Amino acid sequence: MTDFISRREFSIEWAYCDPTGIVFNGRLFEFFDWGTWTLFEAALGVRPSELAGVFGIAGIPLVDASARFLNPARFGDVVEMSSKVKEFRRASFDVEHCLFVGGRLAVEGRETRVWTTRDASASSVVRSEPIPDAVIARFRSQ
């Protein structure tokens, strides 16, 4: 597990809620995505829209995502989300997101993403690539 944690606070908007008045689950995976971009920007000092360009990669696409819904988040609730890299492997990594409402854990999320580059011969194809040590170091040293 790395040491670096980023935090983000936001409100549950009307547009996020389903007919029972709680956040629709698909939206939570949007929040996790927000969390990962925020975490990488905080750790690497690179704006999300420049991440691919700066590191010469195609992106960090998801290969696995999951969530546990422990307590409902409702319209108007203020969410405190903390995000961190749980594990770096050679070419992939796990990000963990914890969403708190009123100090109580509401949702736990997990994403597995891959560090990818475009194939030289077919630009629509991406392949995994070792994560640079310098990137991993930034998540450890802060």
Among 5, 7, 59, 136, binds a copy of itself (CB under 8 A): 59
Q: Is 122 in the site for a copy of itself (CB under 8 A)?
A: no
Q: Is 29 in the site for a copy of itself (CB under 8 A)?
A: yes
Strand partners, 100: 80, 105
Q: In whole angstroms, how far apart are CA 121 and each of 5, 46, 127?
A: 38, 28, 12
Among 9, 14, 103, 123, binds a copy of itself (CB under 8 A): 14
Q: Are 128 and 61 in contact (CB under 8 A)?
A: no
Tokens describing residue 55: 């590191």
CA separation for the pair 4, 15 (Å, rounded): 31
Q: Is 141 in the site for a copy of itself (CB under 8 A)?
A: no
Q: Is 34 in the site for a copy of itself (CB under 8 A)?
A: yes
Nearest to 25 by CA among 79, 68, 54: 68
Q: Is 121 in the site for a copy of itself (CB under 8 A)?
A: no
Residues that bind a copy of itself (CB under 8 A): 13-15, 17-22, 24-30, 33-34, 37, 47-50, 58-59, 61-70, 74-76
